[in-house]
Structure 1
Amino acid sequence: MSDNEVPHEERDAMIRATLAEHGDSGVTPRHTLFYFYGEGDHDDLNEVARRAGFLTRGQDDCTILETTMAVDEASFSPISTMMQSWAAAFQLDYDGWECAVVVN
């Protein structure tokens, strides 16, 4: 099964498990990136994301959203759902997220 076939909730949990292996509970806010690809409407995604407080960058068929946030399940789950909704709304592929390890 490729990464794109694994539901985002499972992928999010795998990232949190990796953070936990390094002693990171996810509760400390840190720089977090979200990746969108495809031929959809990157301009509208950028506009909505900026209004929601994200920094945006990218070119052509790639948009990266940046923010500082906690990534524990309770904090992150609504954001993950929002990212998936934005991808659907703007006909883009949400490829997931990454963040720094912060030892608590």
Structure 2
Amino acid sequence: MSEHDEKDAAVRAALATHGDTGVTPRHTLFYFYGEGDHDDLNEVARRAGFITRGQDEMTVLETTIPVDEEAFAPISAMMQSWAAAFQLDYDGWECAVVTH
């Protein structure tokens, strides 16, 4: 299990304590830092349907997705590959709790 797999599981465990299974799509943010190529990250992310924002050495990607393990695993892998491709640090994600 990678560091990000463990972080992803920890976020899902925190959601579960509130009765959230992660299957309902919700607003989700992804954080990238560093001196790499934020402009190229923004371009690729926009083409993939993400809203992008940030400044200087920080980029935040926004979307609405489910965050259960099955649906989220390919997104997490994509974030890690983008970080590697653009020489950035992927710091993880956060989302709202949804319990209905």
TM category, shorter: over 0.9
1:34 Cα shift?
0.1
Structure 1 residue runs of 5 or longer lacking an equivalent are: 1-5
2:32 match: secondary structure = strand
Give 4+ residue runs of structure 1 displaced > 4 Å after superposition: none
Q: 2:89 aligns with which of 90, 93, 98?
A: 93
Q: 1:53 aligns with which of 49, 54, 59?
A: 49
Find the counterpart in structure 2 of residue 9 from structure 1.
5
How many matched pairs? 99
1:40 Cα shift?
0.1
Q: TM-score, normalised by structure 2?
A: 0.97
Q: TM-score, normalised by structure 1?
A: 0.94
Distance in 2, Cα, partners of 1:46 & 1:79:
16
Find the counterpart in structure 2 of residue 28 from structure 1.
24
Find the counterpart in structure 2 of residue 63 from structure 1.
59
2:94 match: secondary structure = strand
Find the counterpart in structure 2 of residue 81 from structure 1.
77
1:103 pairs with 2:99: yes
Structure 2 residue runs of 5 or longer lacking an equivalent are: none
1:93 Cα shift?
0.1
Superposition RMSD in Å:
0.8
1:40 pairs with 2:36: yes
Distance in 2, Cα, partners of 1:51 & 1:92:
19
Distance in 2, Cα, partners of 1:54 & 1:8:
20
- Structure 1 residue identity aligned to 2:63: T
Identical-residue share of aligned pairs (%):
79
